[in-house]
């Protein structure tokens, strides 16, 4: 559970604060530095072998990919809960 930070490009990575949850369309290697700061990751696209899934496992943080509408349904500053084991995201409180 944490504050969502919705980013649409890697150029916005400077906006991530420690403990926030990264919400994005997808990640690639240039997103990797964020994984040292975030508490979870949620992506619109992806599957079990995509960059976000693999790097999240390495950093031992929850990750849900293939959501499809995460970057539109979740707003910057929303408090969300990410259950990586069951692939569930819950909006706890709107910003």
Active-site residues, by number, are: 51
Closest to 61 (Cα-Cα) out of 19, 6, 11, 9: 19
How far is Cα 93 from Cα 9, in angstroms, rounded to an integer?
Answer: 25
First to last CA, the chain: 14
Reading phi first (left if > 0) and then psi (alpha if -120 to 50, else beta), residue 34 is in alpha
């Amino acid at each position: 559970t944490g504050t969502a930070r919705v980013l649409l490009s890697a150029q916005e990575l400077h906006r991530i604060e420690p403990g926030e949850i990264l919400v994005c369309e997808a990640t690639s290697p240039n997103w990797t530095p964020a994984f040292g700061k975030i508490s979870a990751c949620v992506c619109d696209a992806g599957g079990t072998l995509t960059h976000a899934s693999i790097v999240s496992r390495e950093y031992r943080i929850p990750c849900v990919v293939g959501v499809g509408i995460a970057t539109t349904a979740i707003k910057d500053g929303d408090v969300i809960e990410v259950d990586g084991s069951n692939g569930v995201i819950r909006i706890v409180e709107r910003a």
